[in-house]
Structure 1
Amino acid sequence: MTTSKSLENSTPISYAPGRRTGTGSANVQSPRKTTTLPGTILGFRRVSLLSMITFTGQVPPFGHSASTASYSSLEDLRKAAERPIVVFPECTTSNGRGLLRFAKVFQTEVPVKKYQVFVMCVRYDPPTSLAPTLTLSIPSLLNPLPHLFSLAASLSPPAISIRLLAPSESPSSQLFVVSEIITDATFNDDQLAEVCAALVAQIGKMKRTGMGWEDKASFLEFYRGKRN
């Protein structure tokens, strides 16, 4: 796997998203309409690396009953961790051509005071006739072995682009002005999730679809029902 842009620091960004073309073609503002109501993330649980790989493309609760599994809060995991914690707020995978709605996994106000937040965006090249895409949006029976095989057998190595937001623009910067990002009181119960979604959309130049993992769960249920 090759990296076309590896961890390059972003230049300071403007909080008025979209090109000044008058068409709104690059506007990445918060979507006003959503397909489904956001689901509730109860917490997090520890699993092995192999389990994480197997769950690629799946949706919460990832094969476990929500009523019987034991969960830990993100704050408890952060306090016990001896190294940085990576959070994927979309809670599932997509085809990489748009940004899914971020789940309310942080429950934190901005600016963040207890820890540092680093915002990163990963963009994947679309598939071509010579190379498949790195994204795995639909899990398979022996997930993810068929996808790994297609990547290993491709004639051209797939590439990704990784962008890192400058720390001075981070939601943990005490100079961060949340009102420049959030103008709707609907997102006040998890300001950090909404702010990170807006920042990722800006640095990655990605469109926010307004759909979340809940929509994918409904699609997978329909998709598997049609195949049976």
Structure 2
Amino acid sequence: MEKYTQYRDRGTGIAPFIPITSATSSFHLPLAAVLFALRAPVLLTISISYFLFLQFMPLGSLFQKGILWICMLVAGVWWVDLQVEGVKRGTLSRYPDKLPSPGSIIASTFSSPLDALYLAATFDPIFLFPSFDTPYVFQLTLFQTLLYTFAPPTSKPYSSKPTTLAEVISKNPHRIIVIFPEGTTSNGRALLRFAPALDSFATQYKQSGENGHGNGTIPKNKIFPISLRYLPSNTTTPLPGSYGVFLWRLLGQPSHTIKVRIGEAVKIRDLEMSDTLVATSSSETITEKTVARSSSGDDANGRVPRVGALEERVGEILVRVGRIRRVGLGVKEKIGFWNAWKAQGRKKK
């Protein structure tokens, strides 16, 4: 893999776009074939029934969540290892504010279709994907989100209209919002550079208030960083178009474990504030900031969170709870890597 050295992070040496392979024994192949043959028809039948008919019927969110959990059980996801930062095991019921609730925002890692499936089955959220070069986001359905995990990285997924995180929240105040701030999938071994949408949230909310879509103040919404990792770890989809490989690894394994780590909630009002409204990030190896701030800030003192403060706080928590490293690679580098990978494949042919 020396030819892809330029897509390896210089500081950590991690290559987040190269798929993970695992050694298998000669006894695994027959078992995997049997499991795949048994599970695939059942999973396909349930999935088609849900996405074509059941999700549009007035059956209630609890029933729809149950169908999604059945899909994961059929796929072999039999165990979810949930840990919440600052909460001891067995005492989670005493701290309901430590979990996302209606009106909350989830900033999740992004490495597999299982990310969206688990979050949908647990929280029934609205899914947002950020543009890597603008502060806009795109709202996708669960089915579109699952497909996007296999799609080449782009600044505009599908035909969705660009919007802002603040506008989506103002129109859906009683829904949980999920945003994947990395903007594209990785192999789960590192946290990619964030797109601008999450960090510009406070300014967007201010501007939406001026346009009549919000109250124009810095929002009180809690932002919950959530890290999702998998055992075995080869069910990630860093390469676009890897439908067959993913399904084979997912359905051919006897069981899978999802390690869910929910970090401490972040409030924008608690971030470091600044009077400088137009600036660039203090760490260009981690992030790229080209989004200008508006000339007015918080309704109390005219100040807004320092540029990069929200991204740094969320990224720090994801790195800590997920026990991964943060790299300076993002969607732009993923596009270059994918073009190089395709070119290499054509040469081999």
Global fold match (TM > 0.5): yes
| Partner residue of 1:201 out of 306, 319, 325 | 319
Q: Please give the per-residue CA displacement for 1:58-117, whole angstroms capped at 9, x wherever unaligned.
A: 31235658xxx631111111111231101110111111111111111120459x643121
Q: Distance in 2 between matches of 1:46 and 1:171?
A: 22
Q: Distance in 2 between matches of 1:185 and 1:201?
A: 16
The 8 Å contact of residues 54 and 144 in structure 1, kept in 2 or not, is answered as: no
The 8 Å contact of residues 138 and 156 in structure 2, kept in 1 or not, is answered as: no
CA RMSD of aligned residues (A): 3.0
| Partner residue of 1:184 out of 267, 274, 282 | 282
What amino acid is the match of 2:266? P
| Partner residue of 2:161 out of 70, 74, 94 | 70
What is the correspondence of 1:1-228 to structure 2 with a 5 Å cutoff? 1-6=77-82, 8-11=83-86, 39-57=132-150, 58-61=152-155, 70-81=161-172, 82-106=174-198, 107-108=200-201, 113-127=219-233, 133-140=234-241, 143-154=242-253, 156-166=254-264, 170-172=265-267, 176=270, 178=272, 184=282, 188-228=306-346
Q: Distance in 2 between matches of 1:9 and 1:184?
A: 30
TM-score by length of 2: 0.46
Q: Distance in 1 between matches of 2:245 and 2:237?
A: 10
Q: Distance in 2 between matches of 1:208 and 1:190?
A: 15
TM-score by length of 1: 0.68
Higher strand proportion: 2
Higher helix proportion: 2
Relative distance call for 1:172 and 1:42 in structure 2 (3 A) is: closer
Relative distance call for 1:149 and 1:83 in structure 2 (3 A) is: same
Q: Matched residues, percent identical? A: 22
Relative distance call for 1:198 and 1:80 in structure 2 (3 A) is: same
What amino acid is the match of 2:341? Y
DSSP 3-state at the match of 1:189: coil
Q: Please give the per-residue CA displacement for 1:152-206, whole angstroms capped at 9, x wherever unaligned.
A: 122x31212111123xxx32175x4548xxx937674342122101111112221
How many residues were matched structurally? 183
Q: Distance in 2 between matches of 1:52 and 1:224?
A: 23
DSSP 3-state at the match of 1:119: strand
Relative distance call for 1:42 and 1:225 in structure 2 (3 A) is: farther
The 8 Å contact of residues 109 and 190 in structure 1, kept in 2 or not, is answered as: no
Q: Any stretches of 5+ residues in structure 1 without a counterpart?
A: 13-37, 128-132
Q: Please give the per-residue CA displacement for 1:113-160, whole angstroms capped at 9, x wherever unaligned.
A: 431212211122354xxxxx22111122xx534412331122x31212
Q: Any stretches of 5+ residues in structure 2 without a counterpart?
A: 1-76, 88-130, 204-217, 274-280, 290-305
The 8 Å contact of residues 137 and 164 in structure 2, kept in 1 or not, is answered as: yes
Moved over 6 A (4+): none
